[in-house]
Amino acid sequence: MLEGNLRRALIGASLFAGAGLVSAIATPARAEDPRERLRRKRLHNLPLLTQDGRTVRFYDDVVKDRKVVISVMYTGCSNICTPATRNLMEARERLGDFGRDIHFVSISLTPLTDTPAELRAYKKAHGIGADWTFLTGKPAHVEQVTRGLGLLSEDPADDLLSHSGSAVIADEKLLKWGHGSTLTGGRALARMIRFELV
């Protein structure tokens, strides 16, 4: 009698366990949305400051639902940043109507010295229009944002000023992300932007 009850209990337990397994297989866990996964891993929603001193959240206010070209720079840099900025300006001009809804963003790598006032002066000195956003902020936020974008090495031991002449070219809404060189000249850069955002 005891053996029969034990046997029935074991059979019932195994059927219950099997049903749970079938149920788990039949209803797999929902996969994380790719856009959200990318945002969480790479597009840090940290507060930064614009050249006008306005606080913006990097993902929500700068990148979300936009076509963007994002570069890094600092006002004291002349060997890479100045020609890169000129090439970006030329590319933007060459894009004409195609570039009307592309937002250009430059992030300073020396946020302690590149205050909003310094960035405003830099824009004025280079004749850059009001619709191009320059960003600065707390050094830790700037570092996390720029490393997340792949514009700097992910190795924290690497110097922030050892940056490449790359720009991120993206349509965030469509999950289209690429990099282009800002040192190839304005014409080539405009072609790269068109290719990535067409």
Spatial CA neighbour of 53 closest among 98, 105, 114: 114
Q: How far apart are the first and last CA of the chain?
A: 76
Report the alpha-carbon distance of residue 97 to residue 106 in Å, rounded. 21
Q: What pLDDT does 89 receive?
A: 97
Q: What pLDDT does 35 receive?
A: 80
Residue 163 annotated as lining a ligand binding site: yes
* Inter-residue contact 170 to 75 (CB < 8 Å): no
Q: What pLDDT does 23 receive?
A: 41
Q: What pLDDT does 144 receive?
A: 93
Classify domain 34-197 by CATH number.
3.40.30.10
83: its two tokens: 């020609």
Beta-bridge partner residues of 68? 103, 170
pLDDT digits (tens, 9 = 90+) for 147-173: 899 888 666 666 656 667 899 999 999
41: its two tokens: 């891993």
Residue 141 annotated as lining a ligand binding site: no
pTM above 0.85, yes or no: no
Q: What pLDDT does 162 receive?
A: 63
**Which parts of the chain sit beneath pLDDT 50?**
1-25
Q: For the chain, give every domain's residue range.
A: 1-30, 34-197
Residue 44 annotated as lining a ligand binding site: no
Spatial CA neighbour of 84 closest among 188, 191, 196: 188
pLDDT digits (tens, 9 = 90+) for 81-97: 899 999 999 999 999 99
